[in-house]
Chains A and B, each alone.
Chain A
Amino acid sequence: MADLITINVDGKDVQVPPKIQLIEALRTYAKVDTPAFCYHPDLSVAGNCRVCLVEVAGPRGFAFGIACHMQTAPGLTVKTQISSDRVKWARRGVMESLLVNHPLDCPICDKAGECTLQENYMNSGRHESRLPDDAGKQYKGGADHRFTDAKGNDRGGKKIDLGPTILLDQERCIVCSRCVRFMSEVAKEPQLAIAGRGDHAYITTFPGKPLTHGYDLNVTDVCPVGALTGKHFRFQQRVWNLKSVESIDPSDAFGANITIEYNNGRVWRLMPRRNPAVNKSWIANSTRLLYQQLAVNRLTDARVAGVDADLDAGVQAAKAAIAAAKKVALVASGHGTVEDNAALLALKDALGDKSEVFSGSWLAVGKADGIALSGDPVANRAGLAVLGLADNLDQLAQRAGEFDALVVFNHDLWGADAAKAAKLEAIPARVVLAAWNDATVAKATVAVGIRAWAEVRGTMVNSQGRIQLMHACPVLPNPALEPAWQVLAGFAGAVWASEAQAFAAAQARAARLAGLSYRAIGPMGAVLPQPALAAAGA
């Protein structure tokens, strides 16, 4: 980190890093709340919304400048809304301009409650419009989407279908260009553009081309107003009713940070959670839509020999099957947390020599896209390595005949590679802990339902070697479901009080986890020391 420099904000000296955007310096270091519509920390600076205007001392006295484009430099003297009435006046003017052509449809707008325009409108304090009725609004929009409303006003397009995932309400757009910049800078496929100019400028796709990209739902997040909305969440919930917990993308080893938002016994959406070191502000559409599976096709109870049973009966049957077996194959899972796998290792210790642990995955590994997916669908593959588990799943298929019991959790072996998994059918007792009614459950002799990824607290290690924490969303298809670590610890005859105890058990096995705690990992995760360093420390 470079040495801090001193800038003067509202007459007070503030220590800030050199050459960062002034808006970040104001927000983070000077603790001055600075509004912005077009500025986004993970996009280039466009400087067109003008609401972050501040006064900056120059050779000819104080002049307006925008905090998002200006960089901190020694001796910079800034007046914000705190000390300058002119700044307040200018920002109110910007707010009036932004609102003059914006429809007053907050009551039916999905963005209401998390809308930057709405927040700043409340902050600006200028609540009544002074737009004369007879002057009318200039509604934005392309000629194709114009219509005349019941009052005879010319309106911009409503509900324009941009592509498979996104709808556009043109008249709400404030032309901040964030979505355009996202598509060209992050998605690297410039599918959106601003057509027209002046107050008739509007967002559009290229003629005849839809907006289709694996990340295009992120434009609904960067949109500061309700112009771009995802079809999956349109008119589903008022956002202020949603409660949220922080979690991690369970579908990819990159471990994009997400927020699970739920209400009324249902998960309504997943949102990206900004982590500058991991996924920045972006998640893939595939990650975002994972919530749709949480209430579908769940294994909410147990199944013993193909017959539905309650969870207790399932657990008893599983314990009996393991006890009766002479040789047990335990399969670790990269889809489970570090805690789950620590419980599996505890079961291995309890069973002693009659058990063997196998690890790995038969899922194909793709290429990283450089945004928020590593291409590896096994989210916690690095966590298995941290626990010292070797990638030897193929050996299990070859040596299936040696075993007479199999314990699998959170791991759809038959779904990943049915041909290899078919060899496991030689094992007579197949105990499967699964959240969904998947292909592996279909092959199980005893299947016990467990909590899915959204419903557990635990840690995963991503492809960058960063351990990240997921929190449990309290929406369960069956309240009696237990996380995998709890069921597995039960098989081992242990009673672990909490995830923290499971994590402590994992730490006892892995030098690289030494010294960590959930608090130390925190919402942004913690980078694990390299194996060699950890060994030297131990």
Chain B
Amino acid sequence: MSLFGFPQPKQWKGKDLPRVLSRLFDVKDGHTLAVAKSHGAYSTISKVLFDRAPFQIINEVMDSGLRGRGGAGFPTGMKWSFVPRGGQKPVYLVINADEGEPGTFKDRMCLMRDPHLLIEGMICTGYALGVRTAYIFVRGEMLPQIQALNHAIKEAYDAGLLGENIAGSRYSLDIYVHRGAGAYICGEETGLINALEGYKGQPRLKPPFPAISGAFAAPTVVNNVETIMAVPWILTHGAKAYRQWGTDKSPGSKLFSISGDIAKPGVYEVPLAMPYMEFFELCGGLTGELLGCIPGGSSAPVLTAEETKKTTMDYESLAAAKSMLGSGAITPFNTTRDPVLILQSIARFYAHESCGQCTPCREGTGYVDRVIDSLVDGHGRDGDAEFIKSLADQYEPMTTICAFGPGAAWPVQSFVTKFKSHFDAYIAKNPKHADKRDLVTVRPGAFW
């Protein structure tokens, strides 16, 4: 248990911590329907949901300011509002549980400890969007989580909470669990839809966006597990109550998965806009002297110790620090760690996971990986840090179909600029480091 940070402190600095998502995380057998119901699961459906019109639910979620928790932070209510109404085609809801961002392990916790909250959230969302069939796309490796999820879905069907006429209403919903094959890129929504349809998990060209033509060429909403799990609470307690936490643009609470040089790594639910240093205290304190912190999963640009101390855990503050909240995976590392080796590991991950469609990302991620490898092996030359950055620059500004390119470039760009002295130390190990590489010049008369 302690590995995941539970039991969590109920209070922090005299204030109750939010338990929107993690209510049952430290309850024994919280994943079973009986225990979950005794703690109030499905109360939203029995009390609130069907008294309201779908548009009221969308408006409530829009008012709450809930933002997508998968990484991009797109306002959820706005995403729902893009779905065309009354079309010929069915609307699909797809839950993105393909949690693959290195450092992130919050969704597996949700599926394991409280799958009924996800199902409840899916029923609320499905009702709001007129969904008859919903899918949960789960990363294939998460076997115990899938078993827990399947068990919960079966229980829900048996209790009449899924299938025809949910809880005596006129609304019906079926949920299918689809196991992915563990590709990182299937967490990208169109890559996920491709994989769901049985194709290779490669992102699609946009437009059309999934809200217009997604799974099986029908309007599709893809939401993260955590996003959907916040919906029942918002509907029960109201958008205003949700806004008691966080800031105007980043309201509510969020699950953060913290690992690295920290005393008690794990999943924590805290209000948004908590300062990073305060959060580290909550997690038992840092071990060693902070050197830097990856604030939102491996693709988020790294923060130096000074930047970390100034930053709070919300979308705007991190945007101001030129990083991002991402999936909420926080990895602080201390001065005993080597940022070059951290970047080598991250670069290898992205070179391995690039789907292989767009040239800049397909070839560029591997190029960066090999250059960093050669640098670590002692073949570095002066100027290689800039060289590596210039390679990453090529796939950063959305020159690719999906956001994998930028996501793979940000850590490279930020590590080589913010920890340049560490890279220079590796370069200095090469006795021939002063030998200049042939610099690339553009020949006169180039056509473009």
B446 with A130: CB separation less than 8 A: no
Q: Give a binary string over A257-269; 1 marks a CB under 8 Å from any B CB, 0 the rest.
A: 0000000000000
Tell me how far the C-beta of B432 lies from the nearest C-beta in chain A, rounded to whole angstroms.
11
Bound state CA distance, A91 and B185, in angstroms? 24
Is B355 in contact with A197, judged by CB distance below 8 angstroms?
Answer: yes
Binds A, one of B298-306, B324-332, B369-377, B411-419: B369-377
Question: In the complex, are the beta carbons of B362 and A127 less than 8 A apart?
Answer: no
Q: Does B190 contact A (CB under 8 A)?
A: no
Which listed residue (B359, B367, B381, B387) contacts A48, Cβ 8 A?
B359
Does chain B have a CB within 8 A of A194? yes
Closest Cβ of chain B to A323, distance in Å, is 66
Specify which chain B residues have a CB less than 8 angstroms from the CB of A33 in the assembled complex: 447
| Given contacts A64-B399, A88-B448, A198-B353, A175 and B362 within 8 Å (CB-CB) | yes
Residues 343-376 of chain B: 1 if any A CB is under 8 Å from the residue's CB, otherwise 0?
0000000011111111110111111001101100
Residues in A neighbouring B381, C-beta threshold 8 A: 132
CA distance A101 to B369 in the complex (A): 13
Question: Is the Cβ of A199 less than 8 Å from the Cβ of B351?
Answer: yes
Interface size class of A (residues with CB under 8 A): 35 or more
Interchain CB contact under 8 A, A199 and B365: yes
Distance between A119 CB and nearest chain B CB, rounded to angstroms: 9
In the docked arrangement, what's the CA distance between A98 and B399, Å? 14
Smallest Cβ distance from A63 to chain B, in angstroms? 7
Which chain B positions have C-beta within 8 A of A46?
205, 357
Bound together, the chains give a CA A312 to CA B207 distance in angstroms of 69
Distance in Å from the Cβ of B167 to the closest Cβ of chain A? 43
A317 → chain B closest CB, angstroms: 62
Residues of B within 8 A of A118 (CB): none
Check: A81 CB closer than 8 A to any chain B CB: yes
Q: Please tell me which one of the listed residues A47, A69, A97 contacts residue B363 in the complex, with CB atoms under 8 A apart.
A: A97
A174: interface (CB < 8 Å): yes
Residue of A nearest to B448 (CB): A81
Q: Which residues of B contact A92 (CB under 8 A)?
A: 442
Q: Are B448 and A49 in contact (CB under 8 A)?
A: no
Q: Which residues of B contact A128 (CB under 8 A)?
A: 438, 440-441
B443 within 8 A of A: yes
Q: How far is the CB of A92 from chain B (nearest CB, A)?
A: 7
Q: Cβ of A63 and Cβ of B359 under 8 Å apart?
A: no
Q: How far is the CA of A53 from the CA of B399 in the complex (A)?
A: 7
The reply to whether A138 and B358 form a contact with Cβ atoms under 8 Å apart is: no
CA distance A93 to B352 in the complex (A): 20
B143 at the interface (CB under 8 A from A): no
**Measured between C-beta atoms, what is the minimum distance from B357 to chain A in Å?**
4
Given known contacts A135-B370, A138-B370, A93 and B399 CB-to-CB distance under 8 angstroms: yes
- Which residues of chain A have C-beta atoms less than 8 A from B371's C-beta? 132, 135
Q: How far is the CA of A53 from the CA of B395 in the complex (A)?
A: 12
**In the bound complex, do residue A130 and residue B374 qualify as a contact, i.e. CB atoms below 8 Å apart?**
no
Interface assignment of A416: CB less than 8 Å from any CB of chain B? no
Whether A50 is near chain B, meaning CB under 8 Å from some CB there, is: yes
- Residue of A96, A101, A199 near B354 (CB, 8 A) is A199
B293 CB → nearest A CB, Å? 28
Kindly list chain A residues whose C-beta atoms are within 8 Å of the C-beta of B353.
197-198
Residue from B438, B440, B448 in contact with A87 in the complex, judged by beta carbons closer than 8 Å? B448
Contact B351 A97 (CB under 8 A): no
Chain B interface size band reads: 35 or more
- Beta-carbon contacts under 8 Å, B390-438 to A: 393-395, 397-401, 437-438
How close is A227's CB to chain B, nearest CB, in angstroms?
15
Question: What is the CA–CA distance of A48 and B360 in the complex, to the nearest angstrom?
Answer: 9
Q: Are A136 and B370 in contact (CB under 8 A)?
A: yes
The reply on B183 being an interface residue by CB < 8 A is yes
Task: Assess A124 versus B448: contact at CB under 8 Å? Given A90-B399, A93-B399.
Answer: yes
Please report the C-alpha to C-alpha distance between residue A48 and residue B200 in the assembled complex, in whole angstroms: 14
Q: Which residue of chain A has the shortest Cβ distance to B438 in the bound complex?
A: A128
Distance in Å from the Cβ of A185 to the closest Cβ of chain B? 15
B437 touches A199 (CB 8 A): no
Name the CB-closest residue of B to A136. B370
Interface residue? A51 (CB, 8 A): yes
A64-B356 in contact (CB<8A): no
Q: Chain B residue with minimal CB distance to A176?
A: B359
- Contact between chains at B401 and A48 (CB < 8 Å): yes
Report the Cα distance A48→B359, complex, angstroms.
7
A47→B205 contact, CB < 8 A: yes
Q: How far is the CB of A68 from chain B (nearest CB, A)?
A: 9
Q: Which of A45, A94, A199, A201 has the most CB of B within 10 A?
A: A199
- Tell me if A135 and B359 are in contact (CB < 8 A): no
| Residues in B whose Cβ lies below 8 Å from that of A130 | 387, 437-440
State whether the Cβ of B87 lies closer than 8 Å to any Cβ in chain A: no
A145 within 8 A of B: no
Which of chain B's residues have a CB closer than 8 A to the CB of A199? 351, 354, 356, 362-363, 365-367
By the criterion CB–CB under 8 Å, are B351 and A198 in contact?
yes
List A contacts of B357 (CB < 8 A). 46, 48, 175
Residues of A within 8 A of B398 (CB): 63-64
B151 within 8 A of partner (CB): no
Q: A141 CB to closest chain B CB, in angstroms? A: 13
CB < 8 Å: which of B183, B205, B359, B445 contacts A94? B359
- Which of A53, A123, A127, A197 lies at the interface centre, i.e. has the most chain B CB atoms within 10 A of its CB? A197
Question: Chain A: which residue is nearest B384 at the CB level?
Answer: A132
B446 and chain A: residue at smallest CB distance: A125
B440 touches A134 (CB 8 A): no
User: Which of B200, B394, B447 is the one whose CB lies under 8 Å from A123?
Assistant: B447
Kindly identify, within residues 67 to 97 of chain A, every residue whose CB is under 8 Å from any CB belonging to chain B: 69, 81, 87-88, 90-94, 96-97
| Cβ contact of A50, chosen from B359, B445, B447, cutoff 8 A | B359
The residues of B that contact A209 with a CB separation of less than 8 Å are none
With CB as the reference atom, state the residue of chain B lying closest to A65. B398
Contact of B205 with A69 in the complex, beta carbons under 8 Å: yes
Check A64–B397 contact: CB distance below 8 A: yes
Q: Nearest-CB distance from B319 to chain A (Å)?
A: 14
Q: Does B379 contact A (CB under 8 A)?
A: yes
Asked if A98 and B446 sit within 8 Å, CB to CB, the answer is no
Identify which of B205, B362, B394, B439 contacts A201 (C-beta below 8 A).
B362
B364: A residues at CB distance < 8 A: 93, 97
Q: Contact mask B137-155 → A, CB, 8 Å, 1/0?
A: 0000000000000000000
Whether B443 lies near A125 (C-beta < 8 A) is yes
Of the candidates A96, A126, A135, A196, the one whose C-beta lies within 8 Å of that of B374 is A135
Would B394 and A90 count as touching, CB distance under 8 A?
yes
Q: Is the CB of A126 within 8 A of B440?
A: yes
Over the window 5-48 of chain A, the binary record of Cβ atoms lying under 8 Å from chain B Cβ atoms (1 yes, 0 no) is: 00000000000000000000000000001010100000001111
A132 CB contact (under 8 Å) in B185, B379, B441:
B379
Cβ contacts B90-101/A at 8 Å (1 or 0 each): 000000000000
Which chain A residue shows the least CB distance to B387? A130
A518 smallest CB distance to B (angstroms): 36
- Binary flags per residue of A424-444, CB closer than 8 Å to B gives 1, else 0: 000000000000000000000
**Nearest 3 CB-CB pairs, A to B?**
A125-B446, A93-B394, A201-B356
18 A–B pairs (Cβ distance < 8 Å), ordered by A: A45-B205, A64-B399, A81-B448, A87-B448, A90-B399, A94-B360, A98-B359, A123-B448, A125-B442, A125-B445, A125-B448, A134-B379, A135-B367, A135-B379, A194-B200, A197-B185, A199-B356, A199-B363
Known A81-B448, A93-B394, A123-B446; 7 more pairs at CB < 8 Å: A37-B359, A47-B205, A97-B360, A101-B366, A125-B447, A128-B441, A198-B362
